[in-house]
Amino acid sequence: MPDLLYEIGVEEVPAGYIAPALEQLERAIARDLEAARLPHGAIRTAATPRRLTVAVKEVIARQPDAEEEVLGPSTKVAFAPDGTPTKAAMGFARSVGVEVSALARKQTPRGEYCCVRRTLKGKPALDVLAEILPRITLEISFPKSMVWLPERKSFARPVRALVALLGEEVIPFTLFGVKSGRSTESHPILRPGRFDLPDADFDRYVALLREHQIVVEFPERQRMIRAEIERALRPFGGAFREEALLNEVTNLVQYPMVLTGHFDPAFLAVPAPVVEAAMMEHQRYFPVRDAAGKLLPHFLVVSDRTTEHAELIRTGNEQVLKARLSDARFFDEKDKQTRLEQHVPGLKGIVYLKGRGTYFDKTQRLGKLVALLCRDLGLDAHVMKDAVRAAHLCKADLLTEMVGEFPGLQGTVGRIYAEREGENSIVAVAIEEHYLPRSADGELPTTLAGKVLSAADKIDNLTSCFMLGLVPTGSQDPYALRRQAQGLLHILETVSNNLSTMDIIEHSLRALDTPESDVAKVKENGLWTFMNSRLEGMAAERGIPIDLVRAVTSIFWGRLEFANNTNEQRQPLDYGDLGIHDFWLRLRALQELSNTHCWATLVTAVERTYNISKSAPAGLQLDPALFMEPSEKHLGALLEAYEEEKAELKDDLYYIKASRKYAEVFAAPLHEFFEKVFVNVDDERLRNNRLELMRRINRLYSAHIADLSQIVTGVQK
């Protein structure tokens, strides 16, 4: 069976576009080959800035024939009472290319329908792929694309060539005005020109490109760059640690070479993070440090050339970096003329969000929020003082020249300048840390003041956006609210044993004297549900089954649902003072219990009491005088005794112990009760009393530990 090779030759694609495009290409080719009945072997991808390639081993040369059954309209619609075909029948027959007389009848769960059974003759794979490849190419989405007129077809950059081979044959099609063929581009500088590929063998493709100064596979290019960087760093004693930059640079070159450049040591007087930003963010250079981590006056540049061009490349890059560092030194000297404190009033001129005031207004809110959080968390006065001071200064660096040139250094510049101006070291660190975490799995703040300020900033960001209706939709999240929410939850997990995110957010809104109409907007736009989904996502990332998560979140957030498709609503469960830290304690307890022998017994007890009592009328009172059967009298006595111990169990965070005790106390008596007592008797008073007994036994567990009615199955996990 022949191999398939498809290469899209383009002008240089931005490095960040390449990996997502390859993932899309791989998924699409696998999907369409399966849909087209073309069995195949392994799929491999490769790319450089000037090509995106997908290769498939052993594609069947021709589709197998297939039997197809096409359902049409129901026979009631397709035929009149006398059997005459209607327009619906004739239209269906015409659409599938048969006579009306060829229509068959088929019984389905929805009734009898017309159908056609036919054999689909297989087509040559060459013809099928000529349809598939252009389609999947146009499906690739990029953050920004260029559009070809008049067809309105789009791609990241102009497409210059298309290699499409099945074995030794060219798959014929035209896309973007380019005809497919077998010609691919050599390195445009080192080996300018084009050459033909003899066939679709991927290993031969990789080898031929290497002969023409192109390393087409990402892992191989990355290994080459890493090895050269580590070799270049060895004389200085420093270690390589810029993994994210390595990933980016690997997709900027086709045939990498690493050079060591130098700059004037006088530039080291500029703060090290600024020098590093000038190198890494602006120029994609790798900084050089000594064994102690101190920055040295050298840098590493990854070039797409060979050693014969080394001196010219080194000199050019040294001149570019000198200009960058000269600018940075100028900005640093100019910023020394104005203290952070003096920038704060200027924040009145920067709009935070339309409808939520300026950054000055935001710092005022943050000052109130951090004081509130410090009180709620029981932190001492020194922490509160530092956090409030950091809140006052934390946005001031937005008005510095340095942040204007290096926006990615927000917070970092604030810390450096605060330290230089003699601010308390905790205040300075908190200014930088309030932006943390900067990514979903990024570093968290380390100081209490930093954690409190970061939490306050995220609460304000979330409530402000939800108040204004700026809610994430699908993959669109321009204000990074998912990251903000996850960061807030991570921080609260580390600092609080008793604070609920809902309580914190609502408390914060009210502490800021937020109008009731705006508080209502935050709720109506779904901030609580949004936070819940983030919490569930965090648990899923830790490998916890979703039904265990929802068993806790259903009481953590409260729940309102309909029972038995009636108009009777289930009352929200009490979540009380449950906090993020407590949430994880409960979840870990359930996870551990789900792997023990008592799990099925526990789930069964909670589920059965919930199922039978979920439609019970509200406001029922339990009357022990109505207990008629020995088993319900026994359960009533157990309930009374257990409720006396409930406070102790609820206060005790050893939820495993509480769960096991609940199962030991109620599992066997409940089994006996359900075996011997009929709950839904005709006597309304007796029936309601039994329903209330079940409801109370259920809520002993569901309202205080976890709602196990959310568990998919009661069997051991």
**243 and 328 housed in the same domain:** yes
Helices (H), 557-683: 580-593, 599-613, 630-651, 655-676
Flag the least confident range among 129-143, 300-314, 489-503. 489-503
Residue 386 is encoded by which pair of tokens? 């530092």
CB 73 within 8 A of CB 89: yes
Whether the bond between 437 and the residue before it is cis, its omega within 30 degrees of 0, is: yes
Query: 716 lies in a domain?
Result: no
Is it the case that residue 563 has pLDDT exceeding 50?
no
Q: Which residue has the tokens 């390393």?
A: 215
The candidate with the shortest Cα–Cα distance to 175, out of 140, 146, 148, is 148
The winner for highest mean pLDDT among 37-41, 248-252, 561-565, 675-679 is 248-252
Domain boundary among 335, 357, 392: 335
CB 579 within 8 A of CB 497: yes
Q: Mention every residue, 6+ apart, whose C-beta is less than 8 A from residue 142.
A: 17, 20, 21, 155, 156
Query: Across residues 121-135, what is the average pLDDT?
Result: 92
Query: 202 lies in a domain?
Result: yes
Q: Which residue has the higher pLDDT, 476 or 578?
A: 476
What is the identity of the amino acid at 9?
G
Query: 550 lies in a domain?
Result: yes
**505 and 535 housed in the same domain:** yes
The candidate with the shortest Cα–Cα distance to 457, out of 476, 431, 439, 426, is 431
**662 and 535 housed in the same domain:** no
**Domain residue limits at 263:** 218-335
CA distance 9 to 162: 6
User: Residue 469, by phi and psi: left (phi above 0), alpha (psi -120 to 50) or beta?
Assistant: left
Query: Across residues 53-80, what is the average pLDDT?
Result: 91
So what's the pLDDT on residue 497? 60
Query: 264 lies in a domain?
Result: yes
CB 483 within 8 A of CB 439: yes
**581 and 609 housed in the same domain:** yes
**Mean pLDDT value across the chain:** 89
Query: Across residues 656-685, what is the average pLDDT?
Result: 89
**177 and 292 housed in the same domain:** no
**179 and 71 housed in the same domain:** no
**147 and 228 housed in the same domain:** no
CA distance 90 to 114: 11
CA distance 494 to 450: 12
DSSP letters along 496-550, please? -SS--HHHHHHHHHHHTT--HHHHHHHHHTTHHHHHHHHHHHHHHHTT--HHHHH
Domain boundary among 288, 312, 335: 335
Query: Across residues 110-119, what is the average pLDDT?
Result: 89
The candidate with the shortest Cα–Cα distance to 672, out of 611, 629, 615, 613, is 629
Domain boundary among 211, 239, 258: 211
So what's the pLDDT on residue 425? 96
Residue 475 CB neighbours (<10 A): 6
Model confidence at 704, in pLDDT bands (50, 70, 90)?
confident
CA distance 606 to 564: 18
Query: Across residues 413-424, what is the average pLDDT?
Result: 96
The candidate with the shortest Cα–Cα distance to 197, out of 209, 214, 213, 179, is 209
Beta bridge partner(s), residue 46: 53
How many domains is the chain built from? Answer: 5
Query: 715 lies in a domain?
Result: no
Q: pLDDT per residue over 204-251, tens digit each?
A: 999 999 999 999 999 999 999 999 999 999 999 989 999 999 999 999
Is it the case that residue 463 has pLDDT exceeding 90?
yes
User: Residue 58, by phi and psi: left (phi above 0), alpha (psi -120 to 50) or beta?
Assistant: left
Q: pLDDT per residue over 446-455, tens digit each?
A: 999 999 999 9
CB 46 within 8 A of CB 53: yes
So what's the pLDDT on residue 645? 63
Query: 577 lies in a domain?
Result: yes
**307 and 388 housed in the same domain:** no
What CATH number is given to the structural domain containing 491? Answer: 1.10.3210
What is the identity of the amino acid at 81?
P
**49 and 149 housed in the same domain:** yes
At CA 604, angle to CA 599 and CA 608, rounded to 5?
155
Reported pTM? 0.78
CA distance 627 to 424: 68
**113 and 133 housed in the same domain:** no
**380 and 494 housed in the same domain:** yes
Model confidence at 653, in pLDDT bands (50, 70, 90)?
low
Torsion sign over Cα 675, 680, 683, 687: positive
Residue 350 has what DSSP assignment? S
CA distance 278 to 197: 42
What is the identity of the amino acid at 597?
H
Q: pLDDT per residue over 329-367, tens digit each?
A: 999 999 999 999 999 999 999 999 999 999 999 999 999
Query: 717 lies in a domain?
Result: no
**531 and 410 housed in the same domain:** yes
Give backbone dihedrals phi and psi of 92, rounded to 5 degrees, phi first.
Answer: -65, -45
Residue 339 is encoded by which pair of tokens? 């203290």
Query: 666 lies in a domain?
Result: yes
The candidate with the shortest Cα–Cα distance to 551, out of 496, 501, 606, is 606
